[in-house]
Chain A
Amino acid sequence: MRKQVANAFAPGGALAAHIAGFNAREAQLEMAQAVAGAIETPAALVVEAGTGTGKTYAYLVPALLSGKKVVLSTGTKNLQEQLYFRDLPKVVKALASPLQLALLKGRSNYLCLFRLEQHYNHVPMQDDQLIQDLSLIKKWSAETQSGDIGELSYISEDSKALPYVTSTTDNCLGKDCPVYEDCHLLKARKKAQAADLVVVNHHLFFADLALKDTGFGELLPQMDVIIFDEAHQLPDIASDYFGENVSSRLLLDLCRDIDVACKTELRDHPQLAKTADKVAQLIKDWRLQFGNDATKGNWREAYQKPEMQTALNRVSEAIDMLYLVMKSSLGRSDLIDNAFERLALCKARLLKLTDMQQNGVSLWYETTRLHVSLHLTPLSIADKFRDIVAADNRSWVFTSATLSVNNGFSHYTAQMGLNNAKTLLLESPFNYTEQALLCVPRYMSEPHEQGMARQLLQIAVRLIEANNGRCFFLFTSHRMLQMVAKQLPDLIRQPVLVQGSTGKRLLLDQFVKLDNAVLLGTGSFWEGVDVRGDTLSCVIIDKLPFASPDEPLLQARSEDCTMRGLDPFAQVQLPQAVITLKQGVGRLIRDVTDRGVMVICDNRLVTKPYGEVFLTSLPPMRRTRSLDEAVNFLQQMKQDH
């Protein structure tokens, strides 16, 4: 296969002949050969391919040439679509590959015919937009082949109609569904099982692996090769899926379904409706034991409060009662039978989440204005994942532009239990010394001190003026984002776009279209944003992206680290911040011709010993501490055009 791979990438080879503008790069071929090796052996391989290496082709070519069954998993639905509709067809055509391909998304992306019918006939609430969307979806349902909600480009991503026309594991009737044979989700899964290469996303992959979505666990066992792109996201996602959770929302939905069933199919059973009402009331009482604001916290600590225990005990008792009442009414209504199964599941989870004696897990809660959810997160997923990788002689490839810290992979491989994996570090072909300037301005306050907002504004205004906008201003806290968002528009001529004012995709479209805008954002804009050229040529960051210490996942990992006698800062917090910062830099320089300035308004990068870890992990940008230099760089860029 190595020879075939080399031929495909060779000058005048299959890729060059069929893909316009294709230029084989040495690092790309090196990666393709390593992937081919991992597929043949079979073995596990971890590859960091710096931005611009061309990693997508480097794994697609050996995957398609191998003739084995391949799962390709990436970070988001958008990336899945990009891969399936843009990159994959090019390579398939170039290699004249006869393989069967499939795209598979999560359950909530497929039209549920049963629920559409249900809610189209009985509109759940009087809302003009909802009614309009429902009828558009109804019309589309007659035409669509795939039932993929992604085709509904004319309906807003957050349309209220979508939850009513898609299913969840909780409300899916499964084999009892009257339109089971026509189920789009089922068809998509069958197609995926029959395909040679399936494109999925990480959430779906782990849901399948952790058997969190029944009826689908059949996918993985048939696969020979598993390739993860954007693999740096796996530790967080895997931790989520190897954990457990239960929420007041889930329980209240359940009570509501019982109520609906009692009003329609089981009119002769007033006791059931009453018992369900009681559960719902007690759950709302329990929510009141937490503060009003949306927050996250340690569940073990919160559970210490006697009032908390009392409130939750009442919920448990009422659930037990409901369980008994429902048990005696089984077999009369599909809705009730389904709700009974869900109730049993919730009951078991609730028991697990109130077991305060268990070790090796972090227990935490999260509240929204109306709801509370309890979560159990394993302190480490390394053992679990190691077993999965070791079983059944499969090939595993993990790749991303940001996996290494300080030129090593130990942080990643230890977290994922991949200690025996081969690793490969491929540097970006970009000339960062020429293309990018990293500036940490002098005489800033310490990050926690007063007056930071004023200083940030002063710096931002200079950069925005010099660059005529075209700038991302990324924050580590919403509080600072709000403070700046309030004042910045009065200080500059350029348009200011603020995260949260509209959806992420729309905001990015506006940013590109305006070509002189400033976008204020937090976490989610560090990743998965691809704005090429001068449109984005300046990134300002308010603070080093250390996760907040009360972040439950971080707490869990830190706990685990301390238990093993290691320093949680060096082992957990620092590497995670380094990866995030690398992602941020990745937004700035997307192409060999891109140039730009990265300004980090946090002098700890200069004054703290750990600055070394950041600097040795980031691409080798030229460094300065002079804001004037940064402004000059931007002005010079403008003149060069």
Chain B
Amino acid sequence: MQVSFYLLSDTPAEDQARQNELSTTPAHFTLACQLCADLYRAKQRVFVYTASQQQAEAFDELLWQFDAERFVPHNLSGEGPKYGAPVEISWQAPRQNRQVLINLATEIPAFANRFSQIIEFVPAAEQLKAQARERFKQYRQLGVNPQTVNAN
């Protein structure tokens, strides 16, 4: 199992304020969209795990509004073709096996060991950052040595 933590740097307060005005989408969601687009083009099947249905729908919305030239076919759990689209977004355990897990929840899901590649984020916001550190520790306890990637 290969785990990567993407580190997001602090965004200037101004930027953050503007972003909040436009939407409530956190920066690591946007990064997750780009990763989905890359992974889809690399023919990887991706499972995006979220903390709640609301969060899943927010990510679905973001992916749908993503650059049409870098379109990502995806579905939420509860819709879509029988074996799912190339990217599936869910707040529940996956229905089939996929290669890549993108974890947007604050905890490591119990089914994480079913994936060969896991993508995690370390958001800039303090609380989220602390929770990411916790997950990083847990992976180590599971005997995995996560690599860190500077997202910027």
Partners in one complex: yes
What residues of chain A have their CB less than 8 Å away from a CB belonging to chain B? 440, 442-444, 446, 603, 606-609, 611-612, 615-616, 620, 622-626
Which of B64, B74, B78, B86 has the most chain A CB within a 10 Å cutoff?
B64
Q: A612-B71, A612-B73, A625-B64 are in contact. List 15 more A-B contacts (CB 8 A).
A: A442-B60, A442-B79, A443-B76, A606-B73, A606-B74, A607-B73, A607-B75, A607-B80, A607-B81, A607-B85, A615-B71, A620-B68, A622-B65, A623-B64, A625-B61
B57, B68, B69, B71: the one within 8 Å of A625 (CB):
B57
Chain A nearest CB, measured from B69 CB (Å): 6
Residues on the A chain within 8 Å of B64, using CB: 440, 606, 623-625
Interface residues of B in 50-71 (CB under 8 A from A): 57, 60-61, 64-65, 68-69, 71
Task: Say which residue of B57, B65, B73, B81 sits within 8 Å of A442 (CB atoms).
Answer: B57
Which residue of the partner chain, among B61, B68, B75, B80, contacts A612 with CB atoms under 8 Å? Answer: B68
Question: Across the interface, which residues of A come within 8 angstroms of B61, CB to CB?
Answer: 624-626
In the bound complex, how far is the Cα of B65 from the Cα of A625, in angstroms? 9
Given contacts A442-B60, A615-B68, A626-B57, contact A606 B81 (CB under 8 A): no
Give 21 A-B contacts (CB < 8 Å), ordered by A residue. Answer: A442-B57, A442-B60, A442-B76, A443-B76, A603-B75, A603-B79, A606-B73, A606-B74, A607-B85, A609-B73, A609-B86, A611-B71, A612-B68, A612-B71, A615-B68, A616-B68, A624-B64, A625-B60, A625-B64, A626-B57, A626-B61
A444 to B75, CA, bound (A): 11
In the bound complex, residues from chain B placing their C-beta under 8 Å from that of A444 are 79
**Which of the four size classes fits the interface of chain B?**
10 to 19
In the complex, what residues of B have CB within 8 A of residue A606's CB? Answer: 64, 73-75, 80, 85
- Asked whether B73 lies within 8 Å of A608 as measured between CB atoms, the reply is yes
In the complex, the answer to whether B68 meets A607 with C-beta atoms within 8 Å is no
- Residues in B with CB closer than 8 Å to A446 are 80-81
Docked pose: A183 CA to B60 CA in angstroms: 66
Residues of B within 8 A of A (CB): 57, 60-61, 64-65, 68-69, 71, 73-76, 78-81, 85-86
A interface majority secondary structure: loop
Bound Cα distance A382, B86 (Å): 37
CB pair A608 B71 closer than 8 Å: no
A620 CB, min distance to chain B CBs, angstroms: 8
Residues on the A chain within 8 Å of B57, using CB: 442, 625-626
Report whether B79 and A443 are in contact in the complex, using a CB–CB cutoff of 8 Å: yes
A607 to B61, CA, bound (A): 13
Complex Cα gap A607–B83 (Å): 11
Contacts of B74 in A (CB 8 A): 606-607
Q: For residue A612, which residues in chain B have a CB less than 8 angstroms away from its CB? A: 68-69, 71, 73
Nearest Cβ in chain A — how far from B42, in angstroms? 14
Please name the residue on chain A nearest to B87 by beta carbon.
A607
- Contact at B85–A608, with CB atoms within 8 Å? yes
Which residues of chain B come closer than 8 Å to A611, judged between CB atoms?
71, 73
Contacts of A442 in B (CB 8 A): 57, 60, 76, 79
Q: Which residues from chain A contact B76 at a C-beta distance below 8 Å? A: 442-443
Contacts of B71 in A (CB 8 A): 609, 611-612, 615-616
Give A16 to B71 CA distance when docked, in angstroms. Answer: 43
B53 CB, min distance to chain A CBs, angstroms: 10
